[in-house]
Amino acid sequence: MDSQNLLSSITYVDTERSIVAGQMKIIHTEYEICLYADKLTAQTTQFNLTHVWDISYKTFSDDANLLYLHTHRGVLTYKVPKDPDRFVKTFKKLKNAHY
């Protein structure tokens, strides 16, 4: 399969908190999770799709969702600002095509 054809992507937010000069600083950085025909990539990790068993999510409000990647290394959680339903459906359609 061609791993250069992007099937879907979703933005996730990494939040870093630190104390500088007695004041708390919060830095939000946006990254992308990219779904290809044979792999899934994020900023700090990459998985072959055979190692990603499922993707699920929990919605808390219009701009607060948690995306869960169920992998051979455990469950990874990502904070996503937009509804991840389209991304999850694309993944499930791809995975079900292989069974």
Q: Residue 98: pLDDT band by 50, 70, 90 thresholds?
A: low
b/e burial code for range 27-36 (CB count within 10 A of at least 16 → b)? eeeeeebbbb
pLDDT tens track for 54-66: 999 999 887 789 9
What confidence score (pLDDT) does residue 64 get?
87
C-beta of residue 25 within 8 angstroms of C-beta of residue 32: no
| pTM of the predicted model as reported, rounded to 2 decimal places | 0.84
Q: What are the φ and ψ backbone dihedral angles of 93, each rounded to 5 degrees?
A: -65, -45
Q: Residue 97: pLDDT band by 50, 70, 90 thresholds?
A: confident
Domains belonging to the chain, first-starting first, are 6-97 (2.30.29.30)
